[in-house]
Amino acid sequence: MATTTHTVTNQAPPLVGYDVFRSDRVLAEAVERHLDPGLLDEALGELSTLGTSAGSAQAQEWGAQANAYPPVLRTHDRYGNRIDEVDFHPAWHRLLGHAVTNGLTDAWGRPGGHVRRAAGFLVWTQAEPGHGCPLSMTHAAVPALRADPELAAFWEPKLTSQVYQGEELAAPAAKTGVLFGMGMTEKQGGSDVRANTTEAVPLAADGEYALTGHKWFCSAPMSDAFLVLARAPGGLSCFLVPRVLDDGTRNTFRIQRLKDKLGNRSNASGEVEFDGTWARRVGEEGRGVRTIIEMVAATRLDCVLGSAALMRQAVAQAVHHAAYRSAFGGPLIGKPLMRNVLADLALESEAATVLALRLAAAYDADTDGERALLRLAVPAAKYWVTKRAVPVAAEALECLGGNGYVEESGMPRLLREAPLNSIWEGSGNVQALDVLRALGREPAAMDAYLREVGAARGADHRLDGAVKDLLTELADLEGAEGRARRLVERMALVLQGSLLVRYAPSAVADAFCGSRLGGDWGAAFGTLPHTLDLAAVVERARPELPA
């Protein structure tokens, strides 16, 4: 008698062979909303092509391989010469190369560049998020380098190039495309960069220095050049450190070890030492933080985008699984309690995506008002959106049950990756304090924020009530540090609510305002009011496979 014990039934097919961009209605709508109509057809075509690549079996395999075979540090060659190189699996170079050739380091100076890049970054990093780090650093180096027009003229075309040459170290002039990293934190200071001890001694030539010291966290240590902070005679200053000097010799850049991290394992983060390392100053002596903060602000937006991408992928996997998996007489997606959980997760994902693309659009607009909005909205969004990634990834994993707990599902990798963006580029407390500084010193930022949330005035009573309560809190900032997290959380939620009321379907806006702003919500996902149109919210988040 034939046995059927090995026949596989009631398992969801893999979420593969689909267009990550087109199947994300929220992202596609945001791109259409923020881009000039004359740019739209070209941008949608590019993003759909990238989305098809991101959803392919090949890209998913690259992502798995890059994490299964993490980078390896080689401090010396076989003869004992110091080389300080990081070897990556070929899959890493495939992922990073595809990203560069698709313009994910190029946003500055092209029409709609930030919205297009933000959408592409959100799409492509769903295939594998670790390589988003060098993409982000390279993209974000541009505004900092513009503090020195001569440096910007040389490096910017290489930073924004769509040519990938990440597998080789060479003199800067010999390369068409380069990658940048960053070194700010030291072991005695962390986020308190004013405690840095790395010294910069001026050399004979103007603007040239020799650095001596260390960096506790150096992002993307395999890059062609780095922006770092060091203490010059005039105070803490920003410097450009190339890996290879103009004559083709290696700069002194000793990678002491790579970090053994919780997640982000495909990407290298290292501890590096400078010992008479040649550097070129960027900006004025003593103004290093002000110079490099332009890079930090851009990478913070990428932290928001990266967390939005992670949440979208987690929700897509959960909804997809529930659509195909049957239990207790029908598909999970049709069960009221599971539908509540999925809808709650979908709200979090949609709110993150809408906010991230709105901030990218503000970069493109580049007006005084939009720059003022970014001053408050970026750290507030960075604080809140990145923190939501962890519970979203954990709950989405649980939607798959035991299937989600095994590595083959990809969900454990998402969960390990989820805390990263909340820590990188300033942890939650740093973001909250940054918001307080902006509130206290830059009234134009608060005005811009209130104009933005006020655009939805009268559309939802719960949003109006939340704005009123927020204004009461903002009227008295005396001793605000102890309640800064609560205040910044509320600011982020009000901003998300305003955007959803204006742009999302009524079912989404109603559920968000009722739960996040109206207080009809529990401490865990799946506690939305049962009277809402949750089926519509879930269906909106469902990725569609080709017929």
Claim to verify: residue 223 and residue 369 sit in the same structural domain: no
The confidence score (pLDDT) of residue 269 equals 97
pLDDT tens digit sequence for 397-444: 999 999 999 999 999 999 999 999 999 999 999 999 999 999 999 999
Claim to verify: residue 382 and residue 493 sit in the same structural domain: yes
Helix, coil or strand: residue 540: helix
pLDDT tens digit sequence for 439-465: 999 999 999 999 999 999 999 999 999
Instruction: Give a yes or no: residue 95 inside a domain.
Output: yes
Q: Compute CA distances 307 → 131, 272, 356, 420, 422, whole Å.
A: 14, 27, 10, 9, 9
Instruction: Give a yes or no: residue 351 inside a domain.
Output: yes
Instruction: Give a yes or no: residue 530 inside a domain.
Output: yes
* Total Cβ atoms within 10 A of residue 209: 23
The confidence score (pLDDT) of residue 192 equals 85
Claim to verify: residue 374 and residue 458 sit in the same structural domain: yes
Phi, psi of 489 (to 5 degrees): -55, -45
More confident residue, 273 or 1: 273
pLDDT at 232 over 90: yes
What is the number of structural domains in the chain? 2
The confidence score (pLDDT) of residue 195 equals 87
| Cβ neighbours of residue 233 closer than 8 Å, sequence gap 6 or more | 202, 285
Claim to verify: residue 386 and residue 339 sit in the same structural domain: yes
Claim to verify: residue 35 and residue 105 sit in the same structural domain: yes
Instruction: Give a yes or no: residue 4 inside a domain.
Output: no
Instruction: Give a yes or no: residue 42 inside a domain.
Output: yes
Which among 238, 258, 286 is the end of a domain?
286
pLDDT at 533 over 70: yes
Q: Compute CA distances 382 → 299, 301, 421, 435, 544, whole Å.
A: 10, 7, 8, 11, 30
User: Residue 508 is which amino acid?
Assistant: V
Instruction: Give a yes or no: residue 233 inside a domain.
Output: yes
Claim to verify: residue 519 and residue 379 sit in the same structural domain: yes
Residue 1 binned pLDDT confidence (cut-offs 50, 70, 90): low
Please give the residue range of the domain that contains residue 241: 28-286
The confidence score (pLDDT) of residue 545 equals 83
Claim to verify: residue 299 and residue 192 sit in the same structural domain: no
Claim to verify: residue 355 and residue 228 sit in the same structural domain: no
pLDDT tens digit sequence for 22-46: 999 999 999 999 999 999 999 999 9
Claim to verify: residue 97 and residue 166 sit in the same structural domain: yes
CATH number at residue 368: 1.20.140.10
Claim to verify: residue 149 and residue 196 sit in the same structural domain: yes
Asked whether the beta carbons of 355 and 496 are under 8 A apart, the reply is yes
Claim to verify: residue 441 and residue 520 sit in the same structural domain: yes
Which among 236, 263, 286 is the end of a domain?
286
Claim to verify: residue 251 and residue 316 sit in the same structural domain: no
Q: What is the pTM of this model?
A: 0.97
pLDDT tens digit sequence for 479-530: 899 999 999 999 999 999 999 999 999 999 999 999 999 999 999 999 999 8
Instruction: Give a yes or no: residue 9 inside a domain.
Output: no
pLDDT tens digit sequence for 60-107: 999 999 999 999 999 999 999 999 999 999 999 999 999 999 999 999
| DSSP H or E segment with residue 163 | none
Which among 286, 314, 346 is the end of a domain?
286
pLDDT at 189 over 90: no
CATH number at residue 61: 2.40.110.20
Instruction: Give a yes or no: residue 13 inside a domain.
Output: no
